[in-house]
């Protein structure tokens, strides 16, 4: 009896397989982007900057499903690399595989925020003794184009067969990851500057208050743009008032000023 099973045309079978492969690649890309979003949320909540490199290295392994991740953050002078954050390195390898003193001039000449394949020579330069099988890396550059970090994802020669070969889609997402890291680092840098400025302002304010108390002087301040006025408690006390008896307003000054000095004072301010 003849076989009645419908036969699938070869061309259709090829197209069907291509569609399956495309769907698998899309699913992997969506998964990576979702994990990147989750990492970004964790990084923004991070309160201890010194743990950021280790968080990045762990995220590299989680997002891209590789054996190890390494992240170097450039020091403020941009000339040498701070200690690395690593995750998944084989036992027996240093926590920071980079040679001592590795700096900006020693980094591969890669385009900013784009994934690049790491060959054997480059791999040995970045991590001497580490048997790199397949790896990619990227420079993380800030908005001024300055390299502020380096991130690497890879597998060792002993375990390369366990992991899938790196594909163009992975490289594209890895470049986006490098851009995300650069933005996070700039955010942390800006936040640190603001916090330092706020601390300096607070210290200056405390010193001013101590100086005014020591001098027994009153202080008043008039914002000419908003017309807001501040009178210190000592200023009010010098006029014989309690703090709550005089509102912090321009009208308080107009009510208390010598009428003969009212217009000359306003003219002086206008000049």
Please say whether the dihedral angle defined by the alpha carbons of residues 61, 64, 70 and 72, taken in this order, is positive or negative. Answer: negative
Contact 251, 206 (CB under 8 A): no
* Interval 98-117 mean pLDDT: 75
Confidence band, pLDDT 50/70/90 cuts, at residue 182: very high
Give the pLDDT of residue 10.
Answer: 65
- What is the 3-state secondary structure of the chain? CCCCCCCCCHHHHHHHHHHHHHHHHHHHHHHHHHHHHHHHHHHHHCCCHHHHHHHHHHHHHHHHCCCEEEEEEECCCCCCECCCEEECCCCCCCCCCCCCCCCHHHCCCCCECCCEECCHHHHHHHCCCCCEEEEEEEEEECCCCCEEEEEEEEEECCCHHHCCCCCHHHHHHHHHHHHHHHHHHHHHHHHHHHHHHHHHHHHHHHHHHHHHHHHCCCCEEECCCCCCEEECHHHHHHCCCCHHHCCCCHHHHHHHCCHHHHHHHHHHHHC
* Interval 126-153 mean pLDDT: 87
Contact 32, 63 (CB under 8 A): yes
% the chain with pLDDT above 70 = 74
Give the pLDDT of residue 31.
Answer: 87
Per-residue pLDDT of 12-33, as tens digits, reads 565 665 566 557 666 777 888 8
* Interval 248-263 mean pLDDT: 85
Is pLDDT of 204 > 70? no
* Interval 231-246 mean pLDDT: 86
Is pLDDT of 8 > 60? no
Per-residue pLDDT of 39-65, as tens digits, reads 999 998 888 888 899 999 999 999 999
* Interval 225-254 mean pLDDT: 85
CB-based burial label for 124 (10 Å; 0-12, 13-18, 19+): middle
0.85 exceeded by the pTM?
Answer: no
Give the pLDDT of residue 181.
Answer: 93
Give the pLDDT of residue 136.
Answer: 93
Give the pLDDT of residue 195.
Answer: 64
Q: How far are the Cα atoms of 54, 106, 132, 221 from residue 192, in angstroms, in the given order?
A: 20, 28, 36, 29
* Interval 125-154 mean pLDDT: 87
Mean pLDDT taken over the chain: 80
Give the pLDDT of residue 98.
Answer: 62
Among 110-114, 135-139, 145-149, 266-270, name the most confident range: 135-139
Give the pLDDT of residue 93.
Answer: 73
Give the pLDDT of residue 151.
Answer: 92
């Amino acid at each position: 009896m003849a076989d009645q099973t419908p036969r699938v045309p070869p061309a259709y079978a090829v197209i069907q397989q291509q569609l399956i492969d495309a769907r698998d690649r899309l699913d992997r890309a969506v998964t990576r982007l979702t994990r990147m979003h989750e990492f970004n949320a964790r990084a923004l909540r991070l309160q201890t900057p010194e743990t950021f490199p280790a968080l990045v290295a762990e995220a590299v392994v989680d997002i891209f499903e590789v054996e190890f991740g390494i992240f170097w953050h450039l020091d403020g002078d941009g000339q040498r690399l701070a200690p690395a954050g690593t995750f998944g390195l084989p036992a027996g390898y240093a926590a920071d595989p980079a040679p001592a003193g590795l700096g900006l001039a020693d980094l591969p000449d890669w385009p900013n925020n784009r994934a690049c394949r790491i060959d054997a020579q480059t791999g040995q330069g970045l991590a001497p003794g580490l048997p790199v099988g397949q790896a990619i890396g990227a420079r993380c550059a800030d908005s001024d184009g300055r390299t502020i970090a380096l991130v690497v994802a890879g597998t060792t020669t002993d375990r390369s067969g366990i992991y899938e070969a790196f594909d163009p889609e992975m490289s594209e997402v890895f470049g986006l990851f490098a851009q995300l890291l650069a933005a996070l680092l700039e955010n942390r840098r800006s936040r640190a500057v603001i916090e330092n400025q706020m601390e300096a302002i607070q210290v200056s304010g405390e010193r001013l208050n101590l100086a005014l108390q020591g001098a027994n002087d009153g202080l008043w301040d008039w914002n000419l743009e908003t017309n807001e006025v501040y009178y210190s408690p000592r200023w009010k006390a010098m006029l014989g008032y309690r703090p709550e008896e005089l509102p912090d307003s321009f009208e308080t000054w107009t009510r208390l000023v010598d009428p003969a000095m009212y217009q000359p004072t306003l003219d002086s301010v206008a000049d």
